[in-house]
Amino acid sequence: MTKNEITSEVTNLFRLNNKDNRLPRRFILKTLEDAASFLIAQKWGERSLFSDMNIYTPIPCFEFEKINSRNCPSIEFRLCKTLMKSKKSLPKLLFSKLGGSIRDIVSLDGDYRFNFVDETQYRRNKNRKYRVKNEVYVYLGSDNHLYIPDEEIHSVDLTVITLDKDGCDEASGCTDVDSCISKWETEFIAPTKLLEAIKDLTLQRLSITKQIREDVNGNGIEGN
Protein backbone atom coordinates (compact mmCIF):
# COMPACT_ATOMS: atom_id res chain seq x y z
CA MET A 1 0.00 0.00 0.00
CA THR A 2 1.41 3.40 -0.98
CA LYS A 3 1.44 6.48 1.20
CA ASN A 4 -1.10 8.02 -1.17
CA GLU A 5 -3.47 5.06 -0.83
CA ILE A 6 -3.46 4.83 2.95
CA THR A 7 -3.70 8.61 3.35
CA SER A 8 -6.70 8.68 1.01
CA GLU A 9 -8.39 5.89 2.98
CA VAL A 10 -7.95 7.67 6.30
CA THR A 11 -8.93 11.03 4.80
CA ASN A 12 -12.21 9.58 3.52
CA LEU A 13 -12.97 7.84 6.82
CA PHE A 14 -12.22 11.02 8.75
CA ARG A 15 -14.47 13.14 6.52
CA LEU A 16 -17.34 10.67 6.87
CA ASN A 17 -17.37 11.34 10.58
CA ASN A 18 -16.31 14.98 10.42
CA LYS A 19 -18.06 16.51 7.42
CA ASP A 20 -17.39 20.07 8.52
CA ASN A 21 -13.68 19.64 8.93
CA ARG A 22 -10.69 19.20 6.62
CA LEU A 23 -7.10 18.52 7.55
CA PRO A 24 -4.05 18.79 5.26
CA ARG A 25 -2.99 15.51 3.63
CA ARG A 26 0.58 16.03 4.82
CA PHE A 27 -0.66 16.31 8.40
CA ILE A 28 -2.71 13.12 8.02
CA LEU A 29 0.30 11.26 6.59
CA LYS A 30 2.50 12.52 9.47
CA THR A 31 -0.12 11.30 11.96
CA LEU A 32 -0.20 7.91 10.21
CA GLU A 33 3.60 7.64 10.38
CA ASP A 34 3.64 8.61 14.07
CA ALA A 35 0.98 5.96 14.82
CA ALA A 36 2.92 3.37 12.82
CA SER A 37 6.17 4.23 14.64
CA PHE A 38 4.47 3.84 18.03
CA LEU A 39 2.83 0.49 17.27
CA ILE A 40 5.78 -1.03 15.39
CA ALA A 41 8.23 -0.05 18.16
CA GLN A 42 5.86 -1.62 20.70
CA LYS A 43 5.65 -4.89 18.77
CA TRP A 44 9.39 -4.86 18.02
CA GLY A 45 10.05 -4.65 21.75
CA GLU A 46 7.78 -7.67 22.25
CA ARG A 47 9.82 -9.59 19.62
CA SER A 48 6.69 -10.27 17.60
CA LEU A 49 7.72 -8.67 14.29
CA PHE A 50 10.96 -10.46 13.45
CA SER A 51 9.30 -12.55 10.72
CA ASP A 52 7.42 -9.64 9.08
CA MET A 53 9.84 -9.04 6.23
CA ASN A 54 7.81 -6.24 4.62
CA ILE A 55 8.72 -3.81 7.41
CA TYR A 56 12.48 -4.07 6.83
CA THR A 57 14.38 -1.74 4.54
CA PRO A 58 17.88 -2.54 3.23
CA ILE A 59 20.69 -0.01 3.20
CA PRO A 60 23.33 -1.52 0.90
CA CYS A 61 26.91 -0.25 0.92
CA PHE A 62 26.70 1.76 4.13
CA GLU A 63 30.16 3.32 4.18
CA PHE A 64 32.67 4.03 6.95
CA GLU A 65 35.83 6.11 7.27
CA LYS A 66 38.69 6.03 9.75
CA ILE A 67 38.70 8.75 12.42
CA ASN A 68 40.99 9.72 15.28
CA SER A 69 39.68 7.71 18.23
CA ARG A 70 40.71 10.48 20.65
CA ASN A 71 38.09 12.72 19.10
CA CYS A 72 35.32 10.16 19.62
CA PRO A 73 32.48 11.37 21.89
CA SER A 74 32.39 7.96 23.61
CA ILE A 75 35.06 7.42 26.26
CA GLU A 76 34.86 3.69 25.56
CA PHE A 77 36.46 4.14 22.14
CA ARG A 78 39.26 6.60 22.91
CA LEU A 79 41.79 3.84 23.52
CA CYS A 80 40.90 1.90 20.38
CA LYS A 81 43.77 1.26 17.98
CA THR A 82 41.42 1.80 15.04
CA LEU A 83 38.00 3.44 14.95
CA MET A 84 35.69 3.59 11.95
CA LYS A 85 32.73 5.99 11.80
CA SER A 86 29.93 5.87 9.25
CA LYS A 87 30.21 8.61 6.63
CA LYS A 88 26.49 9.34 6.92
CA SER A 89 24.03 9.21 9.76
CA LEU A 90 21.30 6.59 9.80
CA PRO A 91 17.71 7.43 8.91
CA LYS A 92 15.39 7.78 11.91
CA LEU A 93 15.17 4.38 13.58
CA LEU A 94 12.49 3.05 15.91
CA PHE A 95 13.50 2.38 19.50
CA SER A 96 12.19 -0.06 22.09
CA LYS A 97 13.56 -1.91 25.09
CA LEU A 98 15.62 -3.89 22.56
CA GLY A 99 17.36 -0.71 21.41
CA GLY A 100 17.55 0.64 17.88
CA SER A 101 15.71 -1.23 15.14
CA ILE A 102 18.71 -2.61 13.24
CA ARG A 103 18.01 -6.21 12.27
CA ASP A 104 21.17 -7.20 10.40
CA ILE A 105 24.67 -5.88 9.75
CA VAL A 106 26.55 -8.07 7.29
CA SER A 107 29.65 -7.91 5.12
CA LEU A 108 29.14 -7.03 1.46
CA ASP A 109 29.73 -10.64 0.41
CA GLY A 110 27.16 -11.80 2.96
CA ASP A 111 29.61 -14.19 4.65
CA TYR A 112 30.05 -12.35 7.96
CA ARG A 113 27.49 -10.99 10.41
CA PHE A 114 28.55 -8.16 12.75
CA ASN A 115 27.33 -7.75 16.34
CA PHE A 116 25.18 -4.68 16.97
CA VAL A 117 25.66 -3.55 20.58
CA ASP A 118 24.98 -0.56 22.81
CA GLU A 119 27.62 1.09 24.99
CA THR A 120 26.84 -1.07 28.03
CA GLN A 121 27.08 -4.29 26.03
CA TYR A 122 30.32 -3.15 24.39
CA ARG A 123 31.90 -2.37 27.77
CA ARG A 124 30.79 -5.71 29.20
CA ASN A 125 32.09 -7.64 26.20
CA LYS A 126 35.45 -5.85 26.32
CA ASN A 127 35.87 -6.89 29.96
CA ARG A 128 35.05 -10.54 29.40
CA LYS A 129 37.84 -12.93 30.31
CA TYR A 130 37.26 -14.96 27.19
CA ARG A 131 36.17 -13.30 23.96
CA VAL A 132 34.67 -14.96 20.92
CA LYS A 133 37.31 -15.13 18.23
CA ASN A 134 36.84 -12.76 15.28
CA GLU A 135 33.83 -11.07 16.89
CA VAL A 136 33.35 -7.53 15.51
CA TYR A 137 31.11 -5.00 17.25
CA VAL A 138 29.10 -2.20 15.67
CA TYR A 139 27.92 0.54 17.98
CA LEU A 140 25.23 3.21 17.48
CA GLY A 141 26.41 6.57 18.77
CA SER A 142 24.27 9.37 20.20
CA ASP A 143 24.95 11.28 16.95
CA ASN A 144 23.06 8.57 15.01
CA HIS A 145 26.26 7.38 13.32
CA LEU A 146 27.55 3.81 13.51
CA TYR A 147 31.02 3.08 14.89
CA ILE A 148 33.26 0.02 14.45
CA PRO A 149 36.07 -0.17 17.03
CA ASP A 150 39.34 -2.05 16.55
CA GLU A 151 38.60 -3.15 12.98
CA GLU A 152 39.08 -1.44 9.62
CA ILE A 153 35.79 -2.09 7.83
CA HIS A 154 34.87 0.32 5.03
CA SER A 155 31.40 -0.82 4.01
CA VAL A 156 28.59 -3.07 5.24
CA ASP A 157 25.02 -3.94 4.29
CA LEU A 158 22.31 -3.01 6.79
CA THR A 159 18.70 -4.06 7.28
CA VAL A 160 16.68 -1.67 9.45
CA ILE A 161 13.16 -0.75 10.48
CA THR A 162 12.42 2.86 9.65
CA LEU A 163 9.59 4.78 8.02
CA ASP A 164 12.13 7.02 6.30
CA LYS A 165 12.66 5.19 3.00
CA ASP A 166 14.20 8.31 1.41
CA GLY A 167 16.70 8.46 4.28
CA CYS A 168 17.74 4.88 3.54
CA ASP A 169 18.36 5.72 -0.11
CA GLU A 170 20.43 8.75 0.88
CA ALA A 171 22.47 6.76 3.41
CA SER A 172 23.41 4.05 0.91
CA GLY A 173 26.67 4.35 -0.93
CA CYS A 174 25.52 2.31 -3.92
CA THR A 175 21.83 3.01 -4.48
CA ASP A 176 20.80 4.87 -7.61
CA VAL A 177 17.93 6.95 -6.27
CA ASP A 178 15.12 7.77 -8.69
CA SER A 179 14.32 11.36 -7.73
CA CYS A 180 11.36 11.40 -10.16
CA ILE A 181 9.24 9.15 -7.94
CA SER A 182 6.82 11.12 -5.77
CA LYS A 183 7.05 10.31 -2.06
CA TRP A 184 3.27 9.75 -2.18
CA GLU A 185 3.83 6.75 -4.48
CA THR A 186 6.39 5.11 -2.21
CA GLU A 187 5.39 2.26 0.09
CA PHE A 188 3.89 2.98 3.50
CA ILE A 189 6.05 0.76 5.68
CA ALA A 190 4.01 -1.24 8.18
CA PRO A 191 3.14 -4.88 8.90
CA THR A 192 -0.10 -5.89 7.17
CA LYS A 193 -1.49 -7.16 10.47
CA LEU A 194 -1.04 -3.70 12.05
CA LEU A 195 -2.58 -1.60 9.28
CA GLU A 196 -6.08 -1.48 10.76
CA ALA A 197 -4.73 -0.64 14.21
CA ILE A 198 -2.59 2.12 12.69
CA LYS A 199 -5.58 3.60 10.88
CA ASP A 200 -7.74 3.41 14.01
CA LEU A 201 -5.10 5.11 16.16
CA THR A 202 -4.63 7.78 13.48
CA LEU A 203 -8.38 8.52 13.37
CA GLN A 204 -8.41 8.83 17.16
CA ARG A 205 -5.54 11.33 17.09
CA LEU A 206 -7.09 13.29 14.22
CA SER A 207 -10.37 13.54 16.14
CA ILE A 208 -8.52 14.87 19.18
CA THR A 209 -6.79 17.44 16.96
CA LYS A 210 -10.14 18.49 15.50
CA GLN A 211 -11.66 18.86 18.98
CA ILE A 212 -8.74 20.99 20.18
CA ARG A 213 -9.07 23.26 17.15
CA GLU A 214 -12.80 23.65 17.78
CA ASP A 215 -12.22 24.47 21.45
CA VAL A 216 -9.66 27.12 20.57
CA ASN A 217 -11.24 28.65 17.47
CA GLY A 218 -14.96 27.88 17.75
CA ASN A 219 -15.93 31.18 19.33
CA GLY A 220 -12.58 32.88 19.23
CA ILE A 221 -11.97 31.86 22.83
CA GLU A 222 -10.24 28.88 24.28
CA GLY A 223 -12.59 26.30 25.70
CA ASN A 224 -12.52 25.08 29.29
Q: Please give the C-alpha separations between residue 77 and each of 47, 64, 116, in angstroms, as whole numbers.
A: 30, 16, 15
Tell whether 178 is covered by a domain: no
**What total of structural domains would you count in the chain?**
2
Structural domain containing residue 25: 3-51+191-212
Tell whether 184 is covered by a domain: no
Tell whether 186 is covered by a domain: no
Beta bridge partners of 139: 117, 147
Asked if 19 and 69 sit in the same domain, the reply is no
Asked if 46 and 120 sit in the same domain, the reply is no
Tell whether 177 is covered by a domain: no
Which pairing describes strands 137-140 and 115-117: parallel, antiparallel, or unpaired? parallel
Asked if 24 and 101 sit in the same domain, the reply is no
Asked if 33 and 117 sit in the same domain, the reply is no
* Per-residue model confidence (pLDDT) at position 217: 64
Q: Are 167 and 102 in contact (CB under 8 A)?
A: no
In a structure prediction context, what are the per-residue pLDDT tens digits for the chain, which is 224 residues long? 899 999 999 998 888 777 656 788 999 999 999 999 999 888 877 777 766 767 889 999 999 999 887 766 666 666 677 889 999 999 988 887 777 888 899 998 888 999 888 767 777 776 666 666 678 889 888 888 999 988 889 999 999 988 888 888 889 987 555 555 677 888 898 888 899 999 999 999 998 887 777 666 655 554 44
Q: Is 149 left (phi over 0), alpha (psi -120 to 50) or beta?
A: beta
Tell whether 222 is covered by a domain: no
Asked if 101 and 122 sit in the same domain, the reply is yes
Asked if 63 and 160 sit in the same domain, the reply is yes
Cα 118 to Cα 116: distance, rounded to the nearest angstrom: 7
Asked if 37 and 65 sit in the same domain, the reply is no
For the chain, list the strands marked E by DSSP.
Answer: 57-66, 83-86, 95-96, 99-100, 102-106, 115-117, 137-140, 146-149, 155-160
Asked if 27 and 87 sit in the same domain, the reply is no
Q: How far is CA 27 from the centre of its chain?
A: 19
* Per-residue model confidence (pLDDT) at position 178: 55
Tell whether 92 is covered by a domain: yes
Q: Please give the C-alpha separations between residue 62 and each of 85, 168, 174, 177, in angstroms, as whole numbers.
A: 11, 10, 8, 15
Tell whether 47 is covered by a domain: yes
Q: Please give the C-alpha separations between residue 116 and each of 21, 40, 103, in angstroms, as whole numbers.
A: 47, 20, 9
Asked if 154 and 107 sit in the same domain, the reply is yes
Asked if 106 and 131 sit in the same domain, the reply is yes
* Per-residue model confidence (pLDDT) at position 223: 43
Asked if 71 and 153 sit in the same domain, the reply is yes
Residue 46: Cβ within 10 Å count: 11
Tell whether 176 is covered by a domain: no
Question: What SS3 class is residue 158?
Answer: strand
Asked if 35 and 63 sit in the same domain, the reply is no
